[in-house]
A and B are shown apart, each in its own frame.
Chain A
């Protein structure tokens, strides 16, 4: 009975470039941070390592107003460097620095979930700042479509 609506893959099969699989972290080919001035300013010339940190959002958002987001940094940590902060950057939002999550006290399980707003299809980047100053990063692209029908109830 579910043959009628077997996923969004069918719909966007005709669309140009995207191979759609829900909830995948970035592929190796994406191992490149999107150019976001605020992110570049934060990096200040440093190159983050493309490892340990995973950023997960659905490849296709149900609604740009609320998109589930998860950042995970793989342990173990101690005795090595621990995670000090996680930063989330947006390529298209009016406010590019979406959030900063900080750990004043190190924790063995670094996993943060929230829901974000996305102003249209774009790439999102997450950067983990370790206690020894090193950085890890990851990025994903999220497709945000416009609503099929306008809602005038404000």
Chain B
């Protein structure tokens, strides 16, 4: 599974806010469900999410089971210099994933 699908504009203007959209493949297991035999399924949700722009955090989120599975986030970041956006998230099971997207600023 791709861990995430990231969409940012091909080119952004310096100083202007640009849209970031990300869909993360994750069950966001609430911990309130049981399996067929009645055994509880352990909670496993993405707890922390951060977007870093050339190393500097520009947007972060703390999530809960109240966020739907395969979480979708859409937010804005102000364009400065060209470079890279790095997205990182951690879940209850201890998994830590990182994805990156190149950014072209004109």
Residues in chain A within 8 A of chain B (CB atoms): 65-67, 88, 90, 93-95, 97-105, 107-118, 154
Give Cα A118–Cα B65 distance, bound, in whole angstroms. 10
User: In the complex, what distance in Å separates the CA atom of A107 from the CA atom of B68?
Assistant: 26
17 more contacts with CB within 8 A, not counting A66-B69, A102-B59, A116-B67, are A93-B65, A95-B65, A95-B66, A97-B64, A101-B61, A102-B60, A103-B58, A103-B59, A107-B76, A107-B78, A108-B76, A111-B75, A113-B74, A114-B71, A115-B71, A116-B68, A117-B66
Cβ A116 vs Cβ B17 within 8 A = no
Whether A104 contacts B58 in the complex (CB less than 8 A), given A97-B64, A99-B66, A114-B67, comes out as yes
Chain A residue nearest to B32 (CB atoms) is A94
Min CB–CB distance B85 → chain A (angstroms): 13
Cβ contacts under 8 Å, A101 to chain B:
59-61, 75
Q: How far is the CA of A100 from the CA of B50 in the complex (A)?
A: 12
State whether A102 touches B68 (Cβ < 8 A): no
Main SS of the interface on chain B?
A: strand
Write out, one digit per residue, whether chain B residues 20-62 have a CB within 8 A of any chain A CB (1) or not (0): 0000000010101001100000000000000001001111111
The 8 closest A-B pairs by CB, nearest first: A98-B66, A113-B74, A109-B17, A115-B68, A66-B68, A109-B76, A100-B62, A95-B64
Say whether B102 faces chain A, with CB atoms less than 8 Å apart.
Answer: no
Which residues of B in the span 54-99 have a Cβ within 8 Å of any Cβ on A? 56-69, 71-78
Q: Roughly how many angstroms separate A117 CA and B50 CA in the complex, as a whole number?
A: 21
